[in-house]
């Protein structure tokens, strides 16, 4: 199984998972439709386009988009190159992300100069999947991953065409998405409780633009002439359709807006009809799993999802975690005590400090070292005794 939280997962991906041969070279229409079927366009991945199925059951919430981004970037590379050499793709991907640096987001600061290329790409993908808000804010907004990851794919596509990333491309495509979404929300006949959350989702995902700086009043004033690729045009239309979705209903004014937007983008009407159907089908099917639609109790949703993720990480690192804990008799006893009584403040501080020291040695658990990560420690402390051998709790009886 691929573990996207541990170093070396990209190499393992290319050993274990063969990218699909069904994506036709230069067939951007077929490519886009296949990507949309995976949910990547909508910011909620439900499948991967690979010959060998990828097991997602053991992956935590922010790991699935990592694999999906790698998978789709590689498929984009194959649109332009018939050869299937993973190392060539990885080098091109690194050069592409390096070209983003002058535009204000120095990705190379996150990589080590002497690390293998695959490891450096892992670090970059991890940073791209994250939103631009800190973990504490995520705790209350339950926005956990970048919803606009397909912009990376569009930018990579342009990079492969031109050999360089067009000047200010990322800012222009982000502004176009924001403009289209803003106009779509103004067009909605019935405002929904999800609209504000959708704006927050996109605000947390853009890196080069701001919603507050966009003031497009109508579709006539919307300038989309910069975009000539079908991938860009289809994506912009689907983003508009997603923001208009409201319990499976598309009112006449909303449909008119989409067809008018398609005309401005020079997109066939048949694609608009299919976009409406596809968006409704996907959201209706997966609504209960998409964080954005779990509006009724976001705090509970965040806690439930985080608890599940922490439990998965503990199980995945069970043996190493147990070995590290066994190396500290004091920590072992305190954790055992925590199953029988509440620890006092001094004991809690000792547990926190020693657990954080252990997390530094286990790559998959470094999430607890991030800003706000200490807020998750109570969940970790709660689950450790349950996941370790029964002999762990018997230490109390030996005292």
Convert the pLDDT of each residue in 187-219 to its tens digit.
887 776 667 767 777 777 888 877 667 778 888
- Please name the residue that has the structure tokens 């995976």: 38
Q: Which two tokens stand for residue 294?
A: 């779990």
What backbone phi and psi angles, to 5 degrees, belong to 19?
Answer: -60, 150
Q: Which two tokens stand for residue 306?
A: 């985080």
Task: Identify whether the C-beta of residue 199 lies closer than 8 Å to the C-beta of residue 148.
Answer: no
> Nearest-CA neighbor of 383 among 291, 317, 298?
317
Q: Which two tokens stand for residue 253?
A: 């004014």
Q: CA 354, CA 325: separation in Å to the nearest integer?
A: 9
Element (H, E) at 189: none
Q: Which two tokens stand for residue 69?
A: 């981004």
pLDDT band at 310 (very low <50, low <70, confident <90, very high): confident
Q: Which two tokens stand for residue 112?
A: 């080590």
- What pLDDT digit, counting tens, does each position of 32-77 carry? 999 999 999 988 898 888 777 787 777 776 788 999 999 999 999 9
Q: What was the pLDDT predicted at 269?
A: 93
- What pLDDT digit, counting tens, does each position of 8-18 carry? 999 999 988 66
What backbone phi and psi angles, to 5 degrees, belong to 50?
Answer: -135, 155
Q: CA 292, CA 394: separation in Å to the nearest integer?
A: 44
**Which has more confidence, 134 or 275?**
275
Task: Identify whether the C-beta of residue 39 lies closer than 8 Å to the C-beta of residue 281.
Answer: no
> Nearest-CA neighbor of 392 among 355, 337, 354, 346?
337
Q: CA 203, CA 381: separation in Å to the nearest integer?
A: 33
- What pLDDT digit, counting tens, does each position of 159-187 carry? 999 999 998 899 999 999 999 988 888 88
Ranges of beta strands (E only) in the chain are none
Q: What was the pLDDT predicted at 91?
A: 95
Q: Which residues of 215-225 are buried (b: 16+ CB within 10 A; e: fewer)?
A: ebeebeebebe
What backbone phi and psi angles, to 5 degrees, belong to 59?
Answer: -90, 145
**Which has more confidence, 85 or 372?**
85
Q: Which residues contact 164 (CB under 8 A, 6 or more apart)?
A: 99
Q: Which two tokens stand for residue 124?
A: 């970059």
Task: Identify whether the C-beta of residue 238 lies closer than 8 Å to the C-beta of residue 283.
Answer: no
* Cα 101 off chain centre by: 21
**Which has more confidence, 314 or 20?**
314
pTM of the model: 0.74
Half-sphere exposure of 290 (CA within 13 A, CB side): 21
Q: Which two tokens stand for residue 380?
A: 């970790």
Task: Identify whether the C-beta of residue 279 lies closer than 8 Å to the C-beta of residue 44.
Answer: no
What backbone phi and psi angles, to 5 degrees, belong to 52?
Answer: -100, 120
């Amino acid at each position: 199984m691929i573990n996207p939280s541990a170093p070396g997962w990209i190499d393992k991906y290319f050993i274990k998972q063969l990218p699909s041969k069904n994506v036709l070279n230069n067939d951007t229409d077929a490519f886009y439709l296949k990507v949309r079927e995976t949910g990547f366009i909508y910011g909620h991945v439900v499948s991967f386009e690979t010959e060998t199925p990828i097991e997602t059951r053991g992956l935590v919430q922010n790991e699935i988009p990592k694999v999906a981004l790698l998978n789709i970037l590689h498929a984009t590379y194959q649109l332009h190159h018939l050869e299937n050499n993973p190392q060539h793709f990885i080098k091109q991907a690194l050069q592409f992300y390096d070209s983003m640096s002058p535009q204000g987001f120095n990705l190379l600061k996150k990589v080590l100069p002497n690390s293998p290329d695959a490891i450096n790409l892992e670090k970059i993908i991890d940073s791209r999947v994250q939103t631009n808000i800190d973990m504490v804010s995520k705790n209350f907004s339950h926005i956990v991953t970048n919803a606009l990851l397909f912009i990376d794919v569009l930018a990579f596509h342009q990079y492969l065409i031109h050999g360089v990333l067009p000047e200010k491309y990322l800012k222009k495509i982000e502004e176009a998405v924001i403009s289209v979404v803003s106009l779509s929300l103004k067009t909605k006949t019935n405002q929904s409780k999800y609209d504000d959350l959708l704006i927050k989702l996109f605000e947390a995902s853009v890196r080069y633009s701001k919603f507050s700086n966009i003031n497009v009043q109508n579709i006539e004033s919307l300038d989309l002439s910069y975009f000539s690729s079908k991938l860009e045009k289809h994506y912009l239309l689907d983003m508009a359709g997603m923001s208009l979705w409201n319990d499976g209903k598309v009112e006449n004014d909303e449909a008119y807006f989409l067809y008018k937007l398609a005309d401005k983008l020079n997109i066939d009407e048949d694609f608009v009809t299919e976009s409406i159907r596809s968006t409704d089908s996907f959201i209706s099917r997966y609504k209960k799993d998409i964080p954005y639609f779990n509006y009724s109790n976001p705090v509970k949703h965040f806690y439930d999802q985080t608890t599940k993720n922490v439990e998965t990480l503990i199980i995945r690192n069970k043996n190493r975690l147990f070995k590290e804990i066994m190396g500290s008799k004091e920590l072992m006893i305190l954790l055992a005590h925590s199953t029988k009584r509440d620890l006092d403040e001094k004991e809690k501080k000792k547990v926190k400090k020693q657990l954080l020291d252990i997390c530094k040695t286990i790559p998959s658990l470094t999430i607890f070292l991030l800003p706000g990560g200490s807020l998750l420690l109570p969940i970790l402390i709660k689950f450790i005794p349950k996941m370790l051998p029964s002999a762990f709790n018997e230490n109390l009886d030996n005292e």
